[in-house]
Amino acid sequence: MDADENLPRRKDDLLDALARQDLDPLSVDELEARILALEAEIERSRAKIEYAVHHRASADALFRK
């Protein structure tokens, strides 16, 4: 369990606002652009996770010696 899980979510949480956004007024082009932006953000998040995992493993290996 992550320590941040116990903290209340901010009222201005961008991910929550994004999930609640009404998509009805958006055109197909706008929806496709939104999907591309979200896919780019997913890739950026995955890269950050990978970096953090490798960084942590490197630090653990360094301090085990």
Per-residue pLDDT tens over the stretch 3-59: 566 666 667 788 999 999 999 999 999 999 999 999 999 999 999 999 999 887 777
Residue 65 has pLDDT above 90, yes or no: no
The reported pLDDT for the residue numbered 60 is 74
CA distance 24 to 18: 14
Residue 39 domain boundaries: 27-64
CA distance 53 to 41: 18
Residue whose tokens read 């606002």:
17
Residue whose tokens read 């890739």:
43
For residue 39, being part of any structural domain is answered with yes
The answer to whether 26 and 34 are in contact (CB under 8 A) is yes
For residue 33, being part of any structural domain is answered with yes
The reported pLDDT for the residue numbered 38 is 97
Q: What is the pTM of this model?
A: 0.65
Q: How many structural domains does the chain have?
A: 1
Residue 1 has pLDDT above 70, yes or no: no
For residue 57, being part of any structural domain is answered with yes
Q: What stretch of H or E contains 30?
A: helix 28-64
φ and ψ at residue 23, rounded to 5 degrees: -90, -10
For residue 4, being part of any structural domain is answered with no
